[in-house]
Chains A and B, each alone.
Chain A
Amino acid sequence: MIPPSIDGHGLPPGGPVFTMAGVARGMRDLLPVSVSIVIFGVAFGIAAGSAGLHAWIAVLMSGVVFAGASQFAALDMWQEPVPWVPLMLAVFAINARHLPLGASLYSWCGRLPVLQRYGAMVLLTDANWALSTIAVERGERDVGHIFGGGLTLWLSWTIGTGLGVAIPGITLADVQRYGLDLIFVTFFACTLVGLRRGRIDDLPWLVAGVVALGSVWLLPPNWHVLVGGLAGGVAGMLQRGERS
C-alpha cells in the first residue's frame, strides 16, 4: 500500500480531535476485517506452539508486539542460543513499513497534544491505516478512529492467538503430519502475492531471493533475512531512481 499525499490534502475543516465517539467509529469500521484477523491469530497460535513457545508467551507476544508478520518471522528464529541481533533487525525491517504509514498521518495528527498524537499511533497497522485514510476522505477528523480501529484488530489478534494455543493435544508428530510446521512459510508466500504491485517488484524481489540464498551459505545463521531484505530494498530504491 502506498501512503497518499503527506501534505495535508483533503483534511476536513475544523481541525483534528480525539474523542471516544471517534474511537467507537473506528472500532466499528474495522469489525468486518476482524474475522480474518482472528483466524490469522489462531494460525499464529498453532505455529507458535509448533515452534516451541509456551502458550502464555505466544499470547503475550501478540498482545504487546501486535505485528503478525514479524511475529511469524520470530518463530523461524526461535532457537538456542537466541540470535538477538539478527532477530531484532528482522523485526525492525519487517515493521519499518509503519514509518511511511505514520508519516502519512502527520498532517492529520501531527499538531495534536503529545499524548493524543502518539496514542493514535500505538495500535497502528496496515489495516486501520488504510480504513482511517479512507475515512478522512469522507470527512472523518477524529484521530480516535485510528486508535479504535487498532483496538478491534488488537482484540481479534490476541484472542485468536489465545484460541490457537488452546487447541489441545497437538504433538510434535502431529505438527509434521498435518504440515503445521509450514504455516509460517505459506503465510509469507500468500502475503507476497497480496503485496505484489506488478512487474516493478520483480527485480527487487529477485535480488532479495538470490542474496538471501547466498547469505545462507556465506554468512552466519539467520543473517540472510536482513541482508536479503536490505539488498531488495536498495535495488528497489535504485530502480526507482533509474526510472524517474
Chain B
Amino acid sequence: MSSSDALLVVALMAVVTLATRFGGIWLMGFMPLSAKVEAFLRYLAGSVFVALVVPAVARGGEAAMVAVGVSVAAMLVTRKAVLSMAIGVAAAALFRALFPGIY
C-alpha cells in the first residue's frame, strides 16, 4: 500500500472512530437510545469479532485452528488475554515446526 493511501486509511479510521466516541453523548442530546438499538449495538461488537475469526480460521488452515483452539483454552483457564495469545501463537509455531508441510 502506498504511503498516501495508508495515511488516508489512518485518517479516515480516526474520523470514524471519533464519531463513535462523540456520537453517544451527542445523540442523547435530542434522541435517547432505545433499548432495541442498545441491544443491537451491544451484540454488534461480539458478532463482528466472530465474523472476523471464523473465516480467518477457515482460510488459515491447521495452524490457525491450533492457534485459536489453544489460545481459547488458555483464556478459559487463565483469563489473561495477552498470556493466552502468546500461548496460542507459540503452539502454532510449534505445530508448523513439527509439520512443515501443513499450513
Chain B contact surface mostly:
helix
User: How far, in angstroms, from A102 to B32 measured CA to CA in the complex?
Assistant: 11
Q: Could you give, for residues 210-244 of chain A, a 1 whenever the CB lies within 8 Å of some chain B CB and a 0 otherwise?
A: 01110110000000111111111111110011000
A-B contacts, CB under 8 A, total: 301
Which residue of A52, A70, A78, A189 is within 8 Å of B53 (Cβ)? A189
Residues of B in contact (CB 8 Å), total 73
User: How far, in angstroms, from A92 to B19 measured CA to CA in the complex?
Assistant: 9
Which residue of B12, B45, B82 is within 8 Å of A96 (Cβ)? B45
Cβ–Cβ < 8 Å partners of B27 in chain A: 99, 103
Q: Could you give, for residues 8-23 of chain B, a 1 whenever the CB lies within 8 Å of some chain A CB and a 0 otherwise?
A: 0111111011111111
Chain A contact surface mostly:
helix
Known contacts A88-B16, A94-B48; A100 and B7 CB within 8 A of each other:
no
Known contacts A36-B82, A95-B17, A97-B45; A103 and B53 CB within 8 A of each other:
no
User: How far, in angstroms, from A104 to B64 measured CA to CA in the complex?
Assistant: 38
Name the residue of chain A whose CB is nearest to the CB of B82.
A39
Which residue of A61, A94, A204 is within 8 Å of B10 (Cβ)? A61
| A177 located at the interface, meaning its Cβ lies under 8 Å from any Cβ of chain B in the complex | yes
Q: Is the CB–CB distance between B25 and A105 below 8 Å?
A: yes
| A167 located at the interface, meaning its Cβ lies under 8 Å from any Cβ of chain B in the complex | no
Known contacts A101-B24, A179-B89, A182-B67; A205 and B47 CB within 8 A of each other:
yes
| B51 located at the interface, meaning its Cβ lies under 8 Å from any Cβ of chain A in the complex | yes
User: How far, in angstroms, from A195 to B42 measured CA to CA in the complex?
Assistant: 10
Name the residue of chain A whose CB is nearest to the CB of B88.
A186
3 shortest A-B CB distances, which residue pairs?
Answer: A102-B24, A232-B47, A228-B51
Contacts A182-B63, A237-B39 supplied; 13 other A-B pairs, CB < 8 Å? A78-B1, A80-B5, A92-B16, A117-B25, A123-B21, A185-B68, A186-B68, A188-B52, A189-B71, A196-B46, A227-B51, A228-B54, A236-B40
